[in-house]
Structure 1
Amino acid sequence: MPNAITRSLQLAAVRKDAAALTAVEAGSGQRVYTFKASDGDFDRYSDRLSVKGWRVEGYNANGVVLFNHDDGAQAASTGAEPALPIGKGRVYVEGDALMIDIVFDDEDDFARKVERKVAKGILNAVSVRYLMLPGHYRQNERGGFDCDAQELLEVSIVTIPGNARAVRTKALDELSNEVVERIAQRVVELLAERGEDVPTDDEDTKPDAGEHPPANESKPKPGEPSSDDPPTEDDEDKDKPKNFDAPEAAKQFVEAFKQHIRGV
């Protein structure tokens, strides 16, 4: 039976990296940065990791975020001051990727320095350290490993990505006001078109003078209200047109859209 293989502990070339996607404001006021940490395709080192195979319970119980995988082990052997975690993370599978939300330690000078570079887009990538579980990996046609189950050990902000798909996308706050306005204007147009289909109070549904009802219109049966009878309260509520304020609906939609993107 194959033994367990721990990646990124011995060789830097097995680190798995990905780009920052967005930085959002969490409901608590903390700045939360979301990254794609891994996917199921070949990385630059010919490994493939099953997205559904991630074991993340242990990590989420102790979600340390390091810088360049420096866990202090080397400092301990040299007598230097050991590196400490720069933040905490929470990982989860979303679609075809392993995602992580990172909060930096705002009481640590170095962590704040790293966060500023992430916010500016100077540092864009993360890297996962993981353990390939025995019996769940095999060599593939490219000379790397295909792994069906792996345990996540830690995640680092890194300087050099090892994943060719490490491309950062802009957060909503980085979009120009012009783009947001174009979205809002298009929403207004679509909702206005919908509003035009809604009857208004000014519409007169009565037949014009001189018009006669269809010849085959049946007379009401005994006991049934005729068309000349005054409408009841229920009939009035049923036939009352619903006013539709397209600009206001569009405004509410845009605000809800912004809140959704920002993670609030």
Structure 2
Amino acid sequence: MKTNLIGHVRKLAGNVEETRTIEFVASDNTRDAHGTVVPVDKWDLTRFNSNGIIGYQHNVYGDMCGNEDPDRVIGTGQARIEDNQLIVSMTFEPAELNPLAEKIFRKILHGTLKAVSVGFVPTKEGAWGEGEEAKNGSNPTYYFDGQELLEVSVVNIPSNKNALKRGFRDNTVDAINFIYRALDGRFRYSEIEDMKVRDILDLLDERKAPEKTEEGEAPEVPEDIPEDRATDDADVVLAEAELAIDK
């Protein structure tokens, strides 16, 4: 996240204290600070709308070594497409059930927190734009071609000027997508989720040392992966996981 443009609450009803429900614009078709576009008409909302969860700063999954905390889920959500925007209606848990949810809810009402961020996985391969939006152009832009919404979080600072964030900030989601790309898509997301950390690290180590060709040279690794889909966050998560195993 490298933007200082804060988004907005879409709707604040008069009975918000009773319903504890607030609407946000979660995504639109604008280019975000990562140089990517997440098309509104390509969202798959089925799983989210059957059990939509709301978090704070995407800390809803724990990390790759565990450390789950149920209070990191601060509410439930329902999503819909309206006026070329992804709209999410968030209902926050009551104060007696979750003090963190109450604090975030109050900060939104006070105006301290205003932005949300989407957590998703791509369902299809996207593509770089053309001309100045090409990978090596002056304004490189990557267009996703399908994505499934997993969760939505209230965040301090969004990466999209209209209050959305491309959804790899959560360490676990970030790492899964990094692994998927690093292993050239040889494993499905569901398979990666079921892998042990040690198995993942072994696979990555194997890829770092490719077999030599008959001419005695290692084959070149394709360089068609957007930088923000193999982020520093994922490297940190994997490094921490490896340290935990070694201990």
TM-score, normalization: structure 1? 0.52
The amino acid of 2:38's aligned partner reads L
The amino acid of 2:106's aligned partner reads R
8 A contact 2:71–2:100 mirrored in 1: no
The amino acid of 1:71's aligned partner reads V
8 A contact 2:62–2:69 mirrored in 1: no
Query: 1:83, 1:109 → 2: CA distance?
Result: 8
Deviation at 1:94? 0.4
8 A contact 1:18–1:37 mirrored in 2: no
Describe the shift of the 1:82–1:144 C-alpha distance in structure 2 as closer, same or farther (beyond 3 A): farther
Tell whether 2:35 aligns with 1:46: yes
8 A contact 1:48–1:147 mirrored in 2: yes
**Structure 1 segment 1-264 matched on structure 2, within 5 A:** 18-25=7-14, 29-74=18-63, 77=65, 81=69, 83-106=71-94, 107-135=97-125, 137-140=126-129, 141=133, 142-166=139-163
Deviation at 1:41? 1.3
Seq. identity, %? 28
The amino acid of 2:104's aligned partner reads V
Tell me how many residue pairs correspond in the alignment: 152
Query: 1:22, 1:78 → 2: CA distance?
Result: 36
Describe the shift of the 1:51–1:72 C-alpha distance in structure 2 as closer, same or farther (beyond 3 A): closer
Query: 1:114-165: CA deviations, max 9, x gaps?
Result: 0000011100000001111224x11221334212321111100001111123
**What SS does the corresponding residue of 1:115 show, helix, strand or coil?**
helix
Describe the shift of the 1:127–1:166 C-alpha distance in structure 2 as closer, same or farther (beyond 3 A): closer
Describe the shift of the 1:114–1:27 C-alpha distance in structure 2 as closer, same or farther (beyond 3 A): closer
Structure number with greater Rg is 1
8 A contact 2:21–2:89 mirrored in 1: yes
RMSD, aligned α-carbons: 2.8
Describe the shift of the 1:28–1:20 C-alpha distance in structure 2 as closer, same or farther (beyond 3 A): closer
Deviation at 1:71? 1.6
The amino acid of 1:88's aligned partner reads T
8 A contact 2:71–2:98 mirrored in 1: no
Query: 2:32, 2:47 → 1: CA distance?
Result: 24
Instruction: Give unpaired runs (5+ residues) of structure 2.
Output: 134-138, 165-247
8 A contact 1:72–1:83 mirrored in 2: no
TM-score, normalization: structure 2? 0.55
**What SS does the corresponding residue of 1:131 show, helix, strand or coil?**
strand
